Amino acid sequence: MQSSSQQRLSQYFLFAAYFAFALTIFLFPFRWRIVIWERPFFPIYSDYTNFLLFASDVTFVYTLVFWACSLLLFPRKLKLGSIFMFASLVGLTFAAWVSVLGSVDRILSFYQSVRFILLFLFYLFIVNEIRPIDWVIVPVGAQILFQSVIVVLQVVFQRSLDLQVLGELSLAPHNIGVSVVVADGIRFLRGYGLSDHPNILGGCIAFGLALLLAVILYGNMRTRIVSSIVFLPCFLALVMTFSRSAWLSFFVAGCFLVACEAFARKWDSVKYAILIGILSVLVAAPFIKKNISFFQIRLNSGNVAQDDQMQERVFLLDAGNTVFVEHSTFGIGLGAAPLAMKLRFENFPLDFQPPHYAILVAAMETGVLGGIFYLLLLAIPFISFIVNWKSFSQTPVLMGVFVLLLAITVVGFFDYYTWSYSYGRAWHWLGWGLYSAAWEKAM
């Protein structure tokens, strides 16, 4: 029998794990990193091939270490969550390791597969320990609010804020490689925050806003007011990233959530959502009106024939399909898509990068087996919702997590960072863990 001192020490370690977990969520978008091993493969972007340790990775590892200490001091039976999610994650992790065998960069795929093991443990920690949703909502709100303040200042001043010590890039509209919107010959800087790219930060803000909207609709009056105060400036920052995939992601998730409330005839929630929508438009309207030409450029870019970025994405999709067909059995190795593109295509008109379609990148890198398991992980929550929609509508936490996964899935149709980058993976495994825990509790 364990002594009371052991149990008490186990609780201390568990609280430390909670704190490290919350800090990990806060640090999701930060690009601050340590280069563990620099591996140049010119002209491939170095982040694709270097071994990197991000700020969130450090607290992520501390979360798992503190949790392991807690379990050693006070052993307890671990829950697996939804058996379908658990089995699919096991399958995806296995496929990642199998991909090492046929990888064009085995050491990189080995490193990325180790990270998949840690992500799997992260999933188990969430399923077993994260019960009060406040441990997720509070750091998510802090994350997007902190990044949003920086975005607004960057866009207003059209330059970086000299926060390089926190990982901020050197930003100015005239800098080569900086993401801008160009209209009438004027280059307009997009909001980066402390992330690697406006699309990545836009996705993080969209995911956070989807969760906050669920809190606004399902929470008590106090949480509604606090969440609304955080929501409005973050919505403005989302607009300032000029990320179309993030805009669409939040629009789809928000409309879906409000439509479900209307279908369930929860008119108080619908009215509050309408009020938040009106206030959000009022907050963003002055900025949009002042810079309408840049928004017209972004919104009119749906014409593939006239949009260079869209044409590049179509080209990358075709190239990715070719690589997948030729290496469909084991894949070209987890994390090795850019190098595989370089080795396969002698004359490549673009920078070597994965296709902007997460499902295709997953199948390219881990083969048919990994692609199937990844697709299952995306599909299981949607199938469950269709089959058990009444349970979802009566379980606010489950509904909120489902909307988060919906937002992440939408981004994955237009970008690859939800699969390839540590930021996107962290959000995805967080969503899967929260969903699995909420599903097990609801059922």
> CA 26 to CA 56: how far, in whole Å?
8
pLDDT digits (tens, 9 = 90+) for 179-214: 999 998 999 999 999 999 999 999 999 999 999 999
Query: Measuring CA to CA, how many Å separate 167 from each of 20, 201, 284?
Result: 20, 13, 27
pLDDT at residue 367 tops 90: yes
Each residue's pLDDT tens digit, 275-302 = 999 999 999 999 999 999 999 988 875 5
Distance in angstroms between the alpha carbons of the first and the last residue of the chain: 33
Do 100 and 333 form a contact (C-beta atoms < 8 A)?
yes
pLDDT 10s digits, 239-265: 999 999 999 999 999 999 999 999 988
- Checking if the pLDDT of 225 tops 90, the result is yes
**Crossing angle (nearest 10°) for helices 244-263 and 396-412:** 150
Q: Cβ of 61: how many Cβ atoms within 10 Å? A: 16
Q: How many residues does the chain have?
A: 443
State mean pLDDT over 138-157.
Answer: 97
CA angle (310 as vertex; 429, 156 as ends), nearest 5: 75
**Structure confidence at residue 308 (pLDDT):** 63
pLDDT (tens digit, 9 = 90+) per residue, 35-74? 999 999 989 999 999 999 999 999 999 999 999 999 999 9
pLDDT at position 303, please?
54
Residue 204, both tokens: 């993080």
- The C-alpha atoms of residue 200 and residue 207 are separated, in whole angstroms, by 11
pLDDT at position 221 is: 87
Where exactly are the structural domains of the chain?
A: 1-77, 80-129+303-443, 133-300
| pLDDT, mean over the chain | 93
Smallest CA-to-CA distance from 236 within 288, 179, 158 is with 288
Per DSSP, the three-state class of 52 is strand
Whether residue 6 is predicted with pLDDT greater than 60 in this model: the reply is yes
Residue type, 283: V
Conformational region of residue 40, where left means phi above 0, alpha means psi within -120 to 50, and beta covers everything else: beta
Q: Is the Cβ–Cβ distance between 150 and 195 less than 8 Å?
A: no
Tell me whether strands 51-54 and 33-37 are parallel, antiparallel or unpaired. Answer: antiparallel
- The percent of residues in the chain predicted with pLDDT above 70, rounded, is 97
What's the pLDDT at 61? 97
- Work out the average pLDDT over 220-224: 89
Residue 14 above 90 pLDDT? yes
Gap between the Cα atoms of 425 and 113, Å rounded: 13
Segment 147-174 mean pLDDT: 96
Per-residue pLDDT for 2 more than 70?
no
Instruction: Say whether the peptide bond before residue 29 is cis (omega within 30 degrees of 0).
Output: no
Can you give the pLDDT at residue 309?
A: 72
pLDDT at 301: 53
Question: DSSP letters along 45-110, please?
Answer: -GGGTSEEEEHHHHHHHHHHHHHHHHHHHS--PPP--SHHHHHHHHHHHHHHHHHTTT-SSHHHHH
**Which residue's structure tokens are 């970025």?**
309
Kindly tell me if the per-residue pLDDT of 305 is higher than 60. no
